[in-house]
DNA sequence: TAGTTTGGTTGGCATTGCGAACCATGTCAA
DNA sequence: TTGACATGGTTCGCAATGCCAACCAAACTA
């Protein structure tokens, strides 16, 4: 232990620190919950996204910030486990869209519950009033980085807070 | 497609959703910033931890929730790049402790700045007053949740504003 | 002194993720 | 219509993550 203090000249933004720490904490929970079901963080995210969507491979990849080729492998493995399936798009015969199977949906719901439960010890430290205020304060921070409002005029009726967004 | 509507019976906790979305957002930023310097999320975290510590391999592994063997490889690669180094512990000749090199420290500071800058578009949506309240509201949520194990006796008096904490 | 625990490393394996190469389908223009 | 090019996905090869099991060395215990 070199020093104990917050590194002297180090620029330190309390909010940034809190956000980063919180992010790692949440990711830790997600990772653990996922691991209990043999699911990686990314798989978890994919499932969350598919909860109410039926996107194409490329949409998925873009949304997750991954390469198309990465998606192939990811979907391959999940499909092999029967959690989701590939379908042919009617509009574009090149396109492949992905959707949860019944088993996948069921698992996803269970996972969501587990995540909530796992976060409870943390979120439970706030009273309902505080929880509400925190939620509202975070809202504006959630950037629409992906901005592109899905040119697809088909599905996606209203955007919803998903287990995995942005 | 199974259903089209916002998944009827789906339990949806606004705060959990916000936290998870925010976590992914922050991780996205960290990943990107790290990638620009050929650093993985984990590497980034290691650097952040070493900013003001000189832990042993095992401490590091425990803190990050990784296996010792994973740490070996991680440190190997970072050491090969000259960002950190291994030292022999005086107390225990088996132990190996890790610390940043000058280059590593410099890079870490730069990274921190970049992360702050990258988050600015998001955090900047709040006015100083809101930023302050948000920081304070997150604070209580930050604590050993993952562990579920040891109830840290220390109420975390002076939290360490680290780039990576647990 | 033997037996066990603890600290790290190594090797093997699956997953993640990227880039490049490669088909198949779509689009646009001449 | 026919190219020429763009787009959607897959496959292959490669590096990094991360786990587990096996192993060595130093420390602790009886």
Q: Do residues B73 and B65 touch, judged by C-beta distance below 8 A?
A: no
Query: Binning pLDDT at 50, 70 and 90, where does residue A144 land?
Result: low
Spatial CB neighbours of A18, under 8 Å, sequence gap ≥ 6:
B134, B135, B138, B139, B142
Specify the pLDDT at position A143.
67
Residue B95: is it exposed, middle or buried by C-beta count within 10 angstroms (0-12/13-18/19+)? Answer: middle
Residue B92: is it exposed, middle or buried by C-beta count within 10 angstroms (0-12/13-18/19+)? Answer: exposed
The mean predicted confidence, pLDDT, of chain B is 84
**Strand C protein footprint, C-beta under 7 A:** A 40-43, 65-70, 73-74, 77, 92-94; B 56-59, 68-69, 71-73, 75-76, 86, 89, 92, 94-97
Specify the pLDDT at position A55.
96
Which of the nucleotides in strand C have any atom less than 7 Å away from a protein CB atom? 6-12, 15-21, 24-27
Query: Binning pLDDT at 50, 70 and 90, where does residue B144 land?
Result: low
The mean predicted confidence, pLDDT, of chain A is 83
Gap between the Cα atoms of B87 and A45, Å rounded: 39
Residue B19 pLDDT greater than 70, yes or no: yes
Dump pLDDT digits (tens) for A67-106: 999 999 999 999 999 999 999 998 999 999 999 999 999 9
Please name the residue ranges forming H helices in chain A. 14-35, 41-50, 57-64, 68-80, 102-123, 128-138
Which of the nucleotides in strand D have any atom less than 7 Å away from a protein CB atom? 7-13, 16-22, 25-27
Residue A151 pLDDT greater than 60, yes or no: no
Q: Do residues B83 and B75 touch, judged by C-beta distance below 8 A?
A: no
Answer whether any strand D atom is within 7 A of the Cβ of A50.
Answer: no
Residue A140 phi, psi dihedral angles, 5° rounding: -65, -20
Residue A4 pLDDT greater than 70, yes or no: no
Q: Taking residues A12-28, report their average pLDDT.
A: 92
């Amino acid at each position: 232990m070199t020093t104990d203090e917050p590194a002297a000249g180090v620029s330190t933004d309390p909010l940034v620190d809190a956000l980063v720490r919180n992010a790692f904490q949440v990711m830790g929970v997600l990772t653990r919950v996922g691991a209990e079901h043999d699911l990686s963080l990314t798989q978890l995210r994919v499932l969350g996204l598919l909860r109410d969507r039926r996107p194409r491979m490329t949409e998925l990849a873009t949304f997750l910030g991954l390469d198309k080729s990465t998606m192939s492998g990811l979907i391959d493995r999940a499909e092999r486990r029967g959690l989701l399936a590939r379908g042919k798009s009617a509009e574009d015969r090149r396109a492949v869209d992905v959707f949860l199977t019944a088993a996948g949906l069921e698992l996803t719901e269970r996972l969501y519950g587990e995540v909530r439960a796992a976060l409870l010890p943390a979120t439970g430290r706030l009273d309902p009033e505080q929880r509400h205020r925190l939620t509202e304060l975070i809202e504006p921070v959630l950037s629409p980085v992906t901005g592109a409002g899905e040119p697809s005029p088909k599905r996606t009726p209203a955007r919803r807070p998903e287990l995995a967004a942005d």
